[in-house]
Structures are given as structure tokens and as C-alpha cells.
Structure 1
Amino acid sequence: MVRRLLNHVRACNLWCRIGCYLLLLQLVGCTTANHNPAPVTSVQGYKIELRSYINTPSYRVKKGETLYAIAWRSKQDFKFLAALNQIPNPYQIYPGQVLKLKGKIPAPVYKKPTPVKIAKKTNSNANKSTAKTSVKAPSKPLVKPAITKTVTAKTSAPAKYRPPVKSKSPVKAKPAVKVVKPKAMVSNNKLKWSWPAAGKLIRTYSSSKSGQQGINIAGSLGRNIIASENGRVVYSGNGLRGYGNLIIIKHNDDYLSAYAYNQKLLVKEQQWVKAGQKIATMGNSGPNSGAELYFEIRYRGKPVNPMRYLPKR
């Protein structure tokens, strides 16, 4: 009886060991399977990716891109790219167009103006006077011309006066269209920067190439984002990877400012904005991060420290 009980216990232990081995094999198979990680998205729905800067000598324009956006990604001055590719103002580019990002600006071709031939004016009075002096006086007396009587023709009876026909529907003059003149850009010495959002400064600018090129301001979702200075919106969208919903404002030919990680964009491209005007609401850079604004200032295409321009607070 004891032997049977021992054999039964041994058999149970054997089956338990076999079951453990099978379970371990299943776990190993699960860990070695090739699974792609789920893409990380933010609250706004855009993918969180590394910022993609352009370092190639040329670039093919994609749909929805602007010269300002390409200049921003390549850290170039938009005026340099426009001159390098001979793109006139307002710097219109097209999908599929290949832009040069490096090189020398071609020298302008000078064309000599074609000379215009001006016909010489002849002095008729001088010719007449010379002709009179060259002709000798006649020896015979001059014959008086015969007097001719002018015959006046009989005029017909005057036509009867007919009053003008009044039109039934008088034509009204079209109102003059008001032409809105473009607002003047602010010169460098008159720029008065203001903080783009209220909140705590959590990250500062770094001058290193791989460092932070702007500042991060913490806040709450939906908080107002305002324009730091007067200017024109040259980019409004989410086509630049790593910036989320982004707004770029051109303040003059030298200075640009950028506002990233927005929840909602409230301005469109080519729209003029005033300093302090609400342009967006605050978002975040990912689902596990708090609400914040990423802010940059660029001078001739190069990032500069915003703290040198913003007032102390």
C-alpha cells in the first residue's frame, strides 16, 4: 500500500514538472516574438517624433510646406534660400520643386541697355530763310493775284430739337473697394518682446548644437498663448515633426518667433497679429507630460536665447 502511494506521488511530481516546462516554453516564445511598439501619440493626436532638421545640400518640396518652414528646419535665413533659388517675394514654392540649401548666391546678370536712336529734328524755318536768301529777285514786276469771290452755299433748315430719352433704371456707380495696405514691419531697435504665456520656466536655452534651442514654459491645458510681438503669421500647422501644432511669426526681415506644442491654432498663414493677441491654446508634448509651451526666437535663421529679449519677471 505504501509503495503504491509513493508511486502515485512520484507520477504527480513528474506531471507537474512537465507542466512547468511547457509553461516556460510559452513564456519564452512570447518574449522572443517580434512585436512593434504602439506609436506614442499626444492628447492632440499628433505623433511624438524627434525634430527632423535638414542637413542635405538640396531638398524636394512636399505638399503643404512653405519656404519659411524649410528655412526653419534647415536653420537657414529664408532670405538666403530665396536669393539662392531666385524665388521672388512672396516666396511661393510648389510641391516637387527642388530647392538648393547650400551654395553661393548667383550674381545678378547685368544687361546693357540698348541705345535708342533719336531722329534729328530739322528746322523748317531755317530752311525757309535759306531758301529765300538763295533765290534772286525777279526782274519783271509781280502780277497781282486775281480776286476771287467767295460763294456761300445755302444752308438747310436746322434739325428739330429732340429731348434726350430718360433711362428707366439709372446706373448706380459701384462703391470703391477699400484696399487694405500691408502693415509695416517693426525695425530691430523698436521690437518690444513680451512673454508668450504665463507659467513657470522649466527649461532654458543652450548654445550647444545639440542642446535646447528655446525655452519651455509650464502651464495648464487650454491656457492662452499670445504673440510676443507684432508680425505676420508665415506658418500655422503640424507639418514640422517634433513641434506638434506650430505657429511661426515673422516680425521683420531678421526676426522670427515660434510657438510649439499648441492644443489649438487660432490664426492662419498670412494673417497679421498684434503683440499680446491670442494665437493658440496651450497643449503638451505627449500623453505623459504636463501642459507646456515651447518658444523660440531666431535671428536671420539662427536660434538665439529668448531670455535676452524677454522682459524680466
Structure 2
Amino acid sequence: MKNLFVFFFFFVMSCESYLYDDYKIIDYKKRINRDDTFKNNVYNVRKGDNLYSISRKFNASIEELIKFNKIQEPYKIFPNQSIFIPLNQKHKVVKGETLYSISRYYETTVFTLAKYNNIKNVNNIKVGKELIIPKGIKKKEKIKEKKWDSNFKTKQIDKKKNETLRDKQSSKFIWPVKGKLLSKYGKSKEGFYNDGINIDSKKGTKVKSSKAGKVIYCGNEIPGYGNLILIKHSKNWITAYAHLNEVFTEKGKKVVKGETIGSVGNTGNVRSPQLHFEIRKGKESVNPLKLL
């Protein structure tokens, strides 16, 4: 009902443009001089513009314009106002970049980039390839280096590190399956980046939930991962289980630590039966070997 109301509101506004010059709609089919009004996904409002006309010009929904620009009722905009347009962006891969590093730069996930760009092998992207960056994702600003007090004692720093380590150890994740490590977390000699670990195991071996939580995804839509399960845990922890042969749970189900959620397989971009396992803190991947 809310979406219908918003659409109706702006439809009426567009009709009123025939009566009131302030709301006159410029033909959306006319080309925009992007050098003057549009740069880096930001549009500079001109006289006669309203949210309806801008949404038609850029093929973006009115709801998205309101959301990303935090525009309040009665949803009026003014000349020279800067409006962020949530359009798909493009990123050209350069030497040394991985899908992981690009996902960090745009503050998104490897899963999202792989899905939008139909990438079957997330560990292999070619230099020069143009990637689509989904709507509404902005570039990550460079973080300024912090200036540390020269009088700060080393013992205090070590104490903080030890406390952080104890916090991580107390999360008590368990191994989802037993087996030999096929690939470790991080960058390999070939330059590929692994967001998790790959564990060798026989096809059909039961895969257990590493910790209690709620299943937030079950499916095989993410290219390269095959049958995949994502479980969200307390304190914004997330675990991922990929290349499964069978799935024994469903989205929305609450699971306990050690509960069987699937079986080892070789679905996705792997040949031999194995489990790809990830642990994430929000969007950031963490080395599972430090927490298991």
C-alpha cells in the first residue's frame, strides 16, 4: 500500500505540471548533457525537474531516489540540489586485483559481484574485464592513518590484542566437517584470494552447523559455489557452506551447533568432493583457522 501511495502521489504531481509551471516535466526522452548535470552518479537538479521526471530520465524508481537521498515528505526538490542516482556502475579490473579486493573497495560482497557478473570461478577474473557494480553501492573512502601517542605503552597494546584474541576464541565455532585442508584462507601463490578454507571429504559426509544460528540463505544461484547455505549467528557472525551435495535445512530455520545441515558434494566449480567453509564478521571475512 505504501509503494502504491508513493506512485500515485508522484503521478498526480506529473499531471499537475500542466497547470503549474514549477512542476513542468521535461521530456525524459531528451538526452541529458551529462558534462553539466550528471557526474559520478550525482545529478544536479535543474528548473522544472521533480522526482518523477528524474526517475524517467535515468530509469530509476522514485522509491530508490527517496531512499538513497533521504528525501522527506512532501518530496520536493530544488534547482542546483545534488541527487544521487542509484545506477549500475562499471569497474575495469587491473593487474593485482581480485574479486575479493574489489568487493572490499565497493563495500559489497564477493557473492553479489559474482551474481551480477555471472562469474563462475570467483578465484579467476581477467585483467581488463569490466565488472558491473550494483545499484546504490558507493566507493569506499580512503581511511586516514591514525596518529598514535608516542608515550602509549607497549604493554597496553599487547593487553588489548590478548583481549581481542580471547574474544575470538570464546566464539566457539566447531569444524563443520573433518578432513584434509585443500586450500587455506587468503592469497595463494597464483594470486587468487580465498575468503575461507576448502576441506577434503567423501561425498555424502554430513556437514554440521559450526555454531547455533538462523539459516538466511539456501540455494545455488551464486555462480561457482554450487549448493550453498548461509547461517547468521549472534553478534553479526555469518558462516557459509558451499559445494554441498544435499541440503537438509531451509531458509528461516533455527539450527543448533553441531546440527546436520547438508552433505559434502562437488557442486559448483570444483571437481572433487569438498566443503568450502567461510566465517564472516558482517561483510568482512575472517580466517576460520583462528576461530575453530
TM-score of Structure 1 vs Structure 2, range by shorter chain = 0.3 to 0.5
Higher helix share: 2
Bigger relative contact order, structure 1 or 2 (CA pairs below 8 A, ≥6 apart): 1
Give TM-score, length-normalised by structure 2: 0.43
Indicate the structure (1 or 2) with the bigger Cα radius of gyration: 1
